[in-house]
Amino acid sequence: MTCGLKAGEKLVIASHNAGKVKEISALLAPYRVNCISAGELNLPEPEETGATFVANAELKAVAAATASGFPALADDSGLCVNGLGGDPGIYSARWAGPERDFGLAMEKVNRALRNARTDDRSAYFVCVLSLAWPDGNTMSFEGRITGALCWPPRGTKGFGYDPVFIPDGYDETFGEMDQDEKHRISHRADAFEKFVSWAFEEAR
């Protein structure tokens, strides 16, 4: 199996989400890989038919690697709300609808909690990063961060559900937080630390 990534190597970020591509590219910048997004390559977005974050991340990574002929890194992430039995979970993006309106998605989460008549607003973000090669081989790395939801949303930084998520130990939402600090502590940073340890260190 192919191992690791080299400086200067082309890596496809298997996402059409501009915010996610920007965040992953920023995290990869110190490793000097040549990032290009699936959107820039006009690759189709595969249907996310997996039942887990890992399955969906691997599906997207393999599709991008096969179509492009380059290694591809895919992220599948979502918000899991304990008072909603883990929803929206793998359907986090779908709660935003076809227009990817996360203002609408955050309203849906708040309304669902109110309808559930629960005071449990604890939640966690999960991120799975999957690296795939054109031959179909994959490696996956999972990260998470726990916190609680607030209402109404606060802050205009970040993306997705960031304005309603306050990580444990902080008073600010991800939407208010300095983005360098968010990148240091987030679920994506946790998964990313595991990924780079394997891809750029252990694989040498």
Domain membership flag for residue 166: yes
Candidate ranges 2-6, 22-26, 147-151; pick with highest mean pLDDT: 147-151
Domain membership flag for residue 81: yes
Q: Whole-model pTM? A: 0.87
Domain membership flag for residue 163: yes
Domain membership flag for residue 157: yes
Domain membership flag for residue 2: no
Look at residue 66 in the predicted model and tell me its pLDDT.
Answer: 95
Q: DSSP letters of 73-127?
A: EEEEEEEEEGGGTT-BGGGTTGGGTTTT-HHHHHHHHHHHHHHTT----EEEEEE
Could you tell me the residue range of the domain that residue 29 belongs to? 10-202
Domain membership flag for residue 197: yes
State the CATH number of the domain containing residue 92.
Answer: 3.90.950.10
Domain membership flag for residue 96: yes
Matching residue, tokens 């240091």? 184
Active site residue 119: no
Domains identified in the chain, total number: 1
Residue of 75, 76, 87, 162 marked active site = 76
Instruction: Give which of 83, 84, 192, 175 is closest to 141, Cα–Cα.
Output: 192
Answer yes or no: are the C-beta atoms of 130 and 58 closer than 8 Å: yes
